[in-house]
Structures are given as C-alpha cells and as structure tokens.
Amino acid sequence: MIYANGSELMDWMQGMSNAIDFMEAYLLEPIDVDAIARQAGSSTFHFMRMFNMLTGFTVGEYIRNRRLTLAGSELALSDAKVIDVALKYGYETHESFTKAFRQFHGITPSAARKLSAPLKSIGKLSVQVTLKGAKVMNYKFVEKDAFTVVGKKISVSSVNGENFKIIPEFCCQCGQDGTFDLLGKMCADDMGIMGICANMKDERFDYYSAVTYQGGAIPQGMETLEIPKLTWAVFEAVGPIPDAIQDVWKRIFSEWFPSSGYEHAEGPELEVYECGDMSKPDYKSYVWIPVKRV
C-alpha cells in the first residue's frame, strides 16, 4: 500500500503551481523550460515527463495553446492587426501564425474577427487534490548494471497524443511482419520482449520493441541501444493489456511520484512483458522507471 507523505505532496503541489504561474507570467516572452522546472523544484527531465503524463500536453504544446487561446480572443475583441498579434504571441511571420492558428482554432486569424466566429480555448491549469479509495500498488526498487538491447525503432511525437496512435500501430506491424517472432527467438533472459521509450525530448522520443542484446549479428532493420546503469522503480500491472499497464502508468505519475520523495532520473522507460496470454485477468506486465532521490 502506498501512503502519501503529506509534506512531500504539498511541496509538489506548490512547485507545480509555481511553475504554472511562471508560464502564465512570461507567456508573451521566450520561456526556457529549465527555468520553468526550477520553479517546480525539480529537474527539467522530471518536470517535462510529469507535466506531459498528468496534462496530456507537452510543455511546449501547452504554452503554444495558451498563446493561441489569447490570440484568438484578442483578434475577436480588438482591431489589432493580424501581424501585430502574431508578433505579440511569438510568431515571426504572418504565414507561420496563420498556420498555427488554423491548426488550433480551425479557422484563419481573419475569420476570427467575424461575429460568432467559433474559437477554441485552453484555460490556465490549476493543481487540485482528489481523494480516492486506497488501492494497492505493488512496486520494488532494482539496481541494474548497464546493458544493451537490440530491436526495431521508430521516432514518434507526443504532440496531440500522436504517440498513443502510432505506437499501437507500430506494435501491430511488428506482430504482422515477424519482428516479434524474431525477437522471441533472440530473447535469452528474464527481461523478455520490452517496449522502450528513449531519447526523450520535450515533444519527441524513440520507441523500441527490443530484447537484451546477447552479441552476434544484428538483424536487418534493427539497431542497438545502450541502457546505462540506473536505479529503477519497477511497478507491477495485473490484467489484460493494454488497459492494466496504462492504468499503472497513470497512477505512477499522479499518485506515486508526488508523494514518494523520488523523481524521474534521465533515462529510458521500459515496459516488460511476461510470456503468456495478455488477455487474461491475471496476466502480469511491468513498468520500469529510472529514479533518483529528490
């Protein structure tokens, strides 16, 4: 059972509120993500992962959407020139502003001036505590030496939740083209076939379907990835895939991190799957997150 440390939870809430207030205060200026993370009292990497997992937005995406929200209101309620509004909200050209504005609002900046023009709005975030029934969450810490994996890779974007669409399609393709069968034959340890998120930036990362590399020839279309020596928090998910493991992902970032005294260490994230029927109610899979003490 995980019990929230009240002091750590309150510190985390205050830090997130400070970061959100900072973004709002400097919304019309270039904002450095490192500076935002400092307001939250956390590392840049940890803040970006927490923010993305909890809000569904990357930091950059949230800032863009807030700027475009305000730009839409300003165009609808003032006589300001489109280019002046574009420059105010960080766009250097009329064309780049029009493209971003259309993607967000679904209409051009000029159309936003018309009476009853349909506009979209993303409000300022707020941090709240929701009390829920206590639920057991099984985890352990593992110290693991550096190792190498080999597998098939794609690069994906997390903007607009694109990764939640592309990765399942990639995994389906791996099942159809024989990748999983080949990885299964190459697997020689208890890590099994892994799904790995690596090289994570604010809005892009690499996703691997991989196994531990045992040496020898690397199959065509595959490549290796070095996993450094890290301390891992390993969380157990019980139930059919993907619902069970997706629920654990949400709970790690919404429940465990805020009250654990740990933060996300810079490094890849792993999903580890046991052999067996993934549709069974007792099927087990695991989420491996690299961590460090705050």
**Per-residue pLDDT, 161:** 85
Instruction: For residue 115, give Cα distances in angstroms to 77, 80, 93, 118, 164.
Output: 10, 16, 25, 9, 37
Question: What would the pLDDT profile of 8-33 be if each residue is shown by its tens digit?
Answer: 888 889 999 999 999 999 999 999 99
- Name the residue among 174, 202, 177 with its Cα closest to residue 273: 174
SS3 74: helix
Q: How many residues does the chain have?
A: 294
How open is the CA angle 66-68-70, to the nearest 5 degrees?
70
List of domains in the chain: 61-113 (1.10.10.60), 139-293 (3.20.80.10)
Give dist(CA 40, CA 36) in Å, integer: 7
- Name the residue among 46, 70, 44, 48 with its Cα closest to residue 57: 48
**Per-residue pLDDT, 6:** 65
Question: What would the pLDDT profile of 182-212 be if each residue is shown by its tens digit?
Answer: 999 998 888 999 999 999 987 899 999 999 9
Say if CB 162 and CB 8 are below 8 A apart.
no
**Per-residue pLDDT, 2:** 38
Close Cβ partners of 266 (under 8 Å, ≥ 6 residues apart): 43, 45, 290
Q: Is the whole model's pTM more than 0.95, yes or no?
A: no
- The segments of the chain whose pLDDT lies below 70 read 1-6, 131-134
- The residue type found at 62 is Y
Say if CB 13 and CB 254 are below 8 A apart.
no
**Per-residue pLDDT, 63:** 96
